[in-house]
Amino acid sequence: MTGHIPPKPEPQPKKLTPLARFFKSLHSSTAPLYANSYSMKLGEVKLPLRTMYFVNQPDLVQNILLGDVDRYPKSDLMATMLELLLGESIFVSNGELWKQQRRMMDPAFEATRIKAIFPLMKEAVDAMAARFDEGAAGPDTAIDLEMTHVTADVIFRTIYSRSFTREEAEIIFENFEKFQRLAWLHGVWSLAGVPHWLSVGKHRAKRYAATIRELLHKPVRERMTAMESGDAVPERDMLASFIAAEDPETGKRFDDRELVDQVGIMFLAGHETSASALGWALYLIAQVPDVQRRLQEEADAAFADGDLSFEKMRRLPFTRDVFRETLRLYPPVAFVPRDATEAEEMRGKHILPGSILFVSPWLMHRHTEHWDNPDMFDPDRFSRAETKASEQKAYLPFSKGPRVCLGAAFALQEAVIVLATVMRDWTVSPVEGHVPKPVARLTLRSENGIRLDMERRRGS
Annotated binding residues = 405
Residue 128 and residue 421 in contact, taking contact as beta carbons nearer than 8 Å: yes
Query: Closest Cα partner for 419 from 316, 338, 345, 309?
Result: 316
Burial of 98 (0-12, 13-18, 19+ CB in 10 A): buried
Q: Which amino acid is at 34?
A: Y
Alpha carbon distance 139, 312 (integer Å): 31
Going by C-alpha positions, the residue among 171, 133, 141 that lies closest to residue 279 is 141
Q: What's the chain's length in residues? A: 460
| Strand, coil or helix: 308 | coil
Q: Which residues are annotated as a binding site for heme?
A: 405
Determine which helix (DSSP H) or strand (DSSP E) holds 351, and give its type and residue range.
Answer: strand 349-351
- Residue 144 neighbours by CB under 8 Å, 6+ apart: 173, 275, 276, 279, 445, 446, 449, 450
Cβ within 8 Å of residue 438, ≥6 positions away = 7, 8, 9, 28, 30, 330, 444, 445, 446, 447
**What is each CA distance from 271 to 147, 150, 216, in whole angstroms?**
9, 8, 13
d(CA 165, CA 191): 38
Classify the C-alpha dihedral 6-169-219-131 as positive or negative.
negative
